[in-house]
């Protein structure tokens, strides 16, 4: 996992060395092990490296003939690509096969890739640049039209730091963020910066976008006809293959273990495939009544002989480091799970550079309670996914009643696209989450929190092979009664019964509402006074909200405002996060 950036300008334009250096500095945290540049004519590529595979020979840019490549992520099937396609690779890098496939297949090269990646390629012969992102959007990539052509980078903040784009907030994206904690679609919260979409390949010619292609993340069509035993066998084979591929690494690796079924399945398969004990990291909280999965995770780890490391996240730690944590979320996702994820990554980096996690299991296998609600027609209590926002019952907090109007437009558009012919209600709800919730919330969280510490995060449940094996299973093999992920739970009952796969889902809840209310008298006025919050919210109502944040709905809203205040201060106002949350917000 690394950082990439570059400039693809019109013929006759010369890339600025100062801009290229600024892009590289802004992405240095993503690649502490080295870096490199490629400049040819009107095109420049930059790379910062986190060395994972081919430590000695995998420096980038990589070159073959007239083509150059920089990449972020991992192409897990690189060994198979070399053998099947007889590629004349000169390094052991997993990113070299895509370079040779591009020279042979042109824009269609990405169809053969299995992994998480964001790639930039320059063909000096045609003077064209190609950007490509993996089909699930596990690895990020952003672009912007700038004077003279196109700029791109792994993080929007790099484009801002290099002076290529001014950090101006889009009001409709702000509304999405405040209501649903993430933003949708191609456009980011910054005016002028857009995402390369998951599965998209973009051709840039003479400083302008000339063509876009896209590979679907999920298979088309409705449910297959398959029995439970055949489905279990297929699930086992797909999971084994995916975990085996996701463990390819020349550096030590471990995993993040919660008390839930997704990470338990990853652990069980890692234990099957590894001779040494698996290293598992679990976070917990120091507040009575908080959902704490450490004991259950410890039982599961002991059942497979894993080495289990727990990370205690205290309230004092959160207030001390929250400005840093929010600061790493330049493409904002106000998911409070960023807090334990950041601390887990900090601890994991002491021993490993790669961690596997259970992200994607709920979406691929039908785990969320909202899916069960979506399966029912409205007259039987069915609910539209993501129909309510954090401020729906708190309109008096905002200065203008219509400030958040239209916040569901992006979600509604994605829902229409997800409901393709043949899909059941459940499949459409899953596809909706795969389209936006996953890449723009969960995967951004994983990417930014881990890259802040130089750790690579891998998601074996969110994999092409897993999607092919599981997405089109009959609804009854995903959801039965009050339980989602039925096929995974059945598999765990056979292979890791200590995980108690049919116990009620607890969820991974951060006690942020209780923490906020505990310091609400002090914190509320500080948040209300921040420029980003002051322009949209009434100070007296914000202060009252923070004093009653233990109530679930008010707690979500208070957290979203706290996140936005810190995010706006860092990424719009350009102020560095130095000190704890009270010191940072208390500075004029």
Residue 307: helix, strand or coil by DSSP? strand
Query: What percent of the chain clears pLDDT 90, i.e. is strictly above it?
Result: 90
Q: How confident is the model at residue 380 (pLDDT cuts 50, 70, 90)?
A: low
Higher per-residue pLDDT: 429 or 587:
429
pLDDT given at position 289: 59
* Cβ 441 vs Cβ 335: under 8 Å: yes
- Say yes or no to pLDDT of 508 above 70: no
State the DSSP code for 108: G
The H-assigned helical ranges of 380-452 are: 409-418, 425-432, 443-451
Element (H, E) at 543: helix 539-547
Does the structure show a pLDDT above 80 at 426? Answer: yes
Compute and round to an integer the Cα radius of gyration of the chain: 23
Segment 506-529 mean pLDDT: 89
CATH superfamily for domain 3-214: Aminohydrolase, N-terminal nucleophile (Ntn) domain (3.60.20.10)
Looking at residue 376, what is its pLDDT? 83
Contacts of 171 (CB under 8 A, 6+ apart): none
CA distances from residue 96 to 35, 63, 202 in whole angstroms, order as listed: 16, 8, 19
Place of tokens 């601390």: 343
pLDDT tens-digit series, residues 228-240: 999 999 999 999 9
Task: Check residue 290 and give its pLDDT.
Answer: 64
Q: Is the pLDDT of residue 505 over 90?
A: no
| Per-residue tokens: 257 | 């273990």
Q: pLDDT band for 316, please (50, 70, 90 cuts).
A: very high
- The pLDDT confidence band at residue 556, using thresholds 50, 70 and 90, is very high
pLDDT at 234: 98
- Residue 462 pLDDT greater than 80, yes or no: yes
pLDDT tier at 383, thresholds 50, 70, 90? confident
Q: Which of 53, 71, 54, 51 is nearest to 62 (CA)?
A: 71
- What is the average pLDDT score of the chain? 95
Is a pLDDT exceeding 60 seen at residue 296? yes
Q: Is the pLDDT of residue 40 over 80?
A: yes
Quick check: 155 and 3 in contact, CB under 8 A? yes
Q: C-alpha angle 133/238/99, rounded to 5°? A: 30
Strands 279-285 and 253-256: parallel
Q: What is the mean pLDDT of residues 460-472?
A: 97
pLDDT at 344 exceeding the cut of 60: yes
CATH architecture of structural domain 228-499: 3-Layer(aba) Sandwich (3.40)
pLDDT (average), residues 449-462: 98
> What is the distance, to the nearest Å, from the Cα of residue 216 to the centroid of all Cα atoms in its chain?
17
Residue 126 structure tokens? 């045609």
The pLDDT, as a whole number, for residue 481 is 86
What backbone phi and psi angles, to 5 degrees, belong to 452? -60, -20
Cα distance between residue 182 and residue 221, in whole Å? 28
Residue 106, pLDDT > 90, answer yes
Q: What is the pLDDT of residue 170?
A: 97
What pLDDT sits at residue 395?
Answer: 79
What pLDDT score was predicted for residue 373?
A: 87
User: Looking at residues 454-466, what average pLDDT do you find?
Assistant: 97
| Mean pLDDT (whole number) for 431-446 | 97
Helix (H, G, I), strand (E, B) or coil at 280: strand
What pLDDT score does 259 carry?
A: 87
Contacts of 400 by beta carbon, 8 Å cutoff, 6+ apart: 536
Q: Residue 256 belongs to what H/E stretch?
A: strand 253-256
Q: What is the pLDDT of residue 506?
A: 60
Task: Give me the residue spans of the domains in the chain.
Answer: 3-214, 228-499, 512-586
Q: What is the pTM of this model?
A: 0.96
**Per-residue pLDDT at 340:** 96
Question: Residue 467 is encoded by which pair of tokens?
Answer: 């999607």
| Confidence band, pLDDT 50/70/90 cuts, at residue 18 | very high
Tell me, what's the pLDDT at 503?
Answer: 85
Residues 308 and 280 sit within 8 Å (Cβ to Cβ) = yes
Question: What is the tens place of the pLDDT at every residue in 117-129?
Answer: 999 999 999 999 9
Q: pLDDT tier at 211 (50, 70, 90 boundaries)?
A: very high
Please state the rounded mean pLDDT for residues 290-301.
86
Average pLDDT over residues 56-77: 96
Catalytic sites, residue numbers: 2
**Confidence class for position 59, pLDDT limits 50, 70, 90:** very high
Q: Report the candidate in 466, 469, 450 with the shortest Cα–Cα distance to residue 458.
A: 450
Q: Is the pLDDT of residue 1 over 70?
A: no
Q: Give the span between the Cα atoms of 398 and 376, in whole angstroms.
A: 34
Q: CA angle at residue 354 from 507 to 96, to 5 degrees?
A: 125
Question: What local confidence, expressed as pLDDT, does residue 452 receive?
Answer: 97
């Amino acid at each position: 996992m690394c950082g990439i950036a570059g400039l693809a300008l019109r013929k006759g334009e010369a890339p600025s060395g100062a801009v290229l250096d600024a892009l590289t500095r802004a992405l240095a945290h993503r690649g502490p092990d080295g870096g490199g540049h490629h400049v040819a004519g009107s095109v420049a590529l930059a790379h910062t490296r986190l060395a994972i595979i081919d430590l000695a020979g995998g420096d980038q840019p990589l070159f073959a003939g007239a083509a150059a490549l920089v990449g972020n992520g991992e192409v897990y099937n690189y060994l198979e690509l070399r053998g099947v396609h007889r590629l004349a690779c000169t390094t052991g890098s997993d990113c070299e096969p895509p370079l040779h496939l591009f020279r042979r297949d042109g824009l269609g090269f990405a169809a053969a890739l299995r992994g998480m990646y964001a790639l930039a390629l320059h063909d000096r012969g045609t003077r064209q640049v190609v950007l490509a992102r993996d089909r699930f959007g596990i690895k990020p990539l952003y672009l912007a039209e700038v004077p003279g052509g196109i700029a791109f980078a792994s993080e929007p903040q790099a484009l801002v730091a290099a002076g290529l784009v001014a950090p101006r907030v889009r009001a409709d994206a702000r509304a999405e963020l405040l209501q649903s904690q993430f933003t949708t679609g191609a456009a980011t919260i910054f005016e002028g910066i857009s995402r390369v979409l998951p599965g998209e390949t973009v051709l840039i010619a003479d400083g302008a976008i000339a063509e876009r292609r896209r590979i679907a993340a999920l298979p088309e069509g409705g449910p297959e006809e398959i029995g439970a035993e055949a489905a279990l066998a297929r699930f086992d084979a797909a999971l084994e293959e995916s975990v085996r591929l996701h463990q390819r690494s020349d550096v030590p690796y471990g995993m993040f273990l919660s008390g839930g079924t997704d990470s338990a399945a990853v652990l069980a398969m890692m234990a099957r495939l590894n001779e040494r004990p698996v290293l598992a990291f679990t976070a917990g909280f120091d507040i009575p009544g908080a959902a704490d999965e450490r004991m259950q995770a410890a039982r599961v780890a002991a059942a497979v002989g894993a080495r289990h490391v727990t990370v205690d996240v205290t309230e004092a730690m959160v207030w001390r480091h929250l400005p840093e944590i929010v600061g790493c979320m330049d493409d904002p996702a106000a998911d409070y799970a960023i807090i334990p994820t950041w601390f887990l990554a900090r601890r994991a980096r002491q021993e490993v550079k790669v961690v596997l996690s259970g992200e994607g299991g709920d979406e691929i296998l039908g785990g969320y309670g909202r899916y069960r609600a979506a399966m029912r027609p409205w007259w039987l209590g069915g609910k539209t996914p993501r129909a309510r926002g954090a401020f729906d019952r708190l309109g008096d907090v905002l200065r203008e009643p219509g400030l958040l109007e239209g916040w569901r437009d992006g979600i509604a558009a994605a829902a229409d696209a997800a409901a393709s012919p043949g899909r059941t209600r459940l499949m459409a709800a899953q596809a909706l989450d795969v389209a936006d919730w996953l890449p723009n919330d969960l995967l951004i969280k994983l990417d930014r929190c881990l890259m802040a510490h130089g750790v690579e995060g891998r998601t074996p449940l969110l994999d092409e092979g897993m999607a092919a094996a599981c997405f089109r299973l009959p609804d009854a093999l995903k959801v039965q009664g009050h339980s989602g992920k039925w096929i995974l739970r059945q598999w765990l009952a056979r292979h890791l019964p200590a995980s108690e796969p049919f116990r009620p889902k607890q969820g991974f809840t951060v006690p942020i509402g209780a923490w906020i209310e505990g310091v609400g008298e002090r914190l509320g006025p500080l948040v209300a006074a921040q420029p980003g919050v002051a322009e949209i919210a009434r100070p007296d109502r914000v202060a009252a909200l923070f004093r009653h944040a233990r109530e679930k709905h008010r707690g979500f809203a208070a957290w979203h405002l706290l996140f936005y205040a810190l995010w706006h201060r860092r990424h719009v106002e350009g102020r560095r996060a130095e000190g704890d949350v009270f010191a940072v917000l208390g500075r004029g």
